[in-house]
Amino acid sequence: MTEAEIDRLFLRYKTVWPDTTPWVGMDLDGTLSHFSLSKYLAKGESFIGPPFQNMIDLIKSHLAKGRTVKIFTARISKNKIKNIKVIQDWLESIGLPRLEVTNVKNHTMIVLYDDRVTEVVFNTGELRG
């Protein structure tokens, strides 16, 4: 999705649902940070791999445009409160604010950056080639 498309979606959502906050989802493991299953299993769920600078820059770009960014991760499906704090502490350690962390998407999520997604063309059921 291009920046122009994201801009149009943010504007449309704010027009249609003025009392909602559109947001950008950023997956944690394998997208914002390097994921190693062996290290995760050895060190526990508080281990988060090194970040990717280009993804940090992307988050900062969205924030600079006034967009809400949430970390979207399955890590909080268990031990939610502890894992949210671990993730937010890690975000601060890499120069990002303590963003909201969620594992739930809703109709106001504009875009999701994720390493496991296969994009489907909106309202077609067709896979994007």
CATH homologous superfamily of 3-12+22-113: HAD superfamily/HAD-like (3.40.50.1000)
Q: Is the pLDDT reported for residue 78 higher than 80?
A: no
pTM: 0.90
Which residue is listed with tokens 């969620």? 102
Answer with the residue of higher pLDDT: 81 or 43: 43
Kindly compute the dihedral angle of the four CA atoms of residues 12, 118, 123, 11, in this order, to the nearest 10 degrees.
0
Give the CA distances from residue 39 to residues 42, 43, 49, 111, in Å, rounded to whole numbers and listed in that order. 5, 6, 8, 29
- The rounded distance, in Å, linking the Cα atoms of 86 and 82 is 6
The chain-wide mean pLDDT, for the chain, equals 93
